Chain A
Amino acid sequence: MAMTATAAPGERIARRRHAAFVWALPALVLILLFFVTPVLGLLLRSVTEPTLGLQNYAELIGTGTYARIFANTFLVAGVVTALSVVIGYPVAWALAVLPRPWGQLVFAIIILSMWTNLLARTYAWMVLLQRTGVINKTLMGLGVIDQPLALVNNLVGVTIGMTYIMLPFVILPLVGVLRAIDPAILRAGALCGANSWQCFTRILLPLSLPGIAAGALMVFVMALGYYVTPALLGGTANMMLAEMVAQFVQSLVNWGMGGAAAFVLLVVTLALYAVQLRFFGAGRIG
Chain B
Amino acid sequence: MLLDFDRLGPWKWVLITITTLVCLFLLLPIVFIAALSFGSSQWLIFPPPGWTTRWYGELFADPRWLQSAFTSLKIAAIVTVLSVGIGFLAALSLNRGSFAGREVLRALFLTPMILPVVVLAVALYAFFLRIGLNGTTLGFIIAHLLIALPFSIISIGSALEGFDKSIEDAAILCGASPWEARLRVTVPAISHGLFGAAVFSFLASWDEVVLAIFMASPTLQTLPVKIWATLRQDLTPVIAAASTLLILFTMLLMIIAALVRRGSKQGTKP
Contacts and interface: CB of A to CB of B under 8 A. Distances in A.
Interface of A: 9-10, 12-13, 16-18, 20-24, 26-28, 30-31, 34-39, 41-42, 45, 87-88, 90-91, 93-99, 106, 108-113, 115-128, 130, 132-134, 137, 164, 167, 178, 181, 183, 186-187, 189-190, 196, 199-200, 203-204, 221, 224-228, 232, 242, 245-246, 249-250, 255, 258, 262, 265-266, 269-270, 273, 285-286
Contacts of A221: 114
B16 A94 contact: yes
A225 B127 contact: no
Interface residues of B, number: 96
Interface of B is mostly: helix
Nearest to A246: B118
B253 A97 contact: no
Interface of B: 1-5, 8-11, 14-16, 18-19, 22-23, 25-30, 32-33, 36, 43-46, 86-87, 89-90, 92-94, 96-99, 105, 108-127, 142-143, 145-146, 149-151, 153-154, 169, 172-173, 175, 178, 200, 203, 207, 209-210, 214, 224, 227-228, 231, 235, 239-240, 242-243, 246-247, 250-251, 253-254
B116 A224 contact: yes
Contact of B8 (A97, A178, A266): A97
Nearest to B8: A97
Contacts of A227: 116-118, 210
A189 B1 CA distance: 9
A178 B2 CA distance: 10
Nearest to A43: B123
Nearest to B200: A286
A35 B108 CA distance: 10
Contacts of B111: 31, 35
- Scoring A31, A113, A119, A186 by chain B CB atoms within 10 A of each residue's CB, the highest score goes to A119
A128 B28 contact: yes
Contacts of A87: 18, 22
Contacts of B121: 246
Contacts of B92: 20, 23
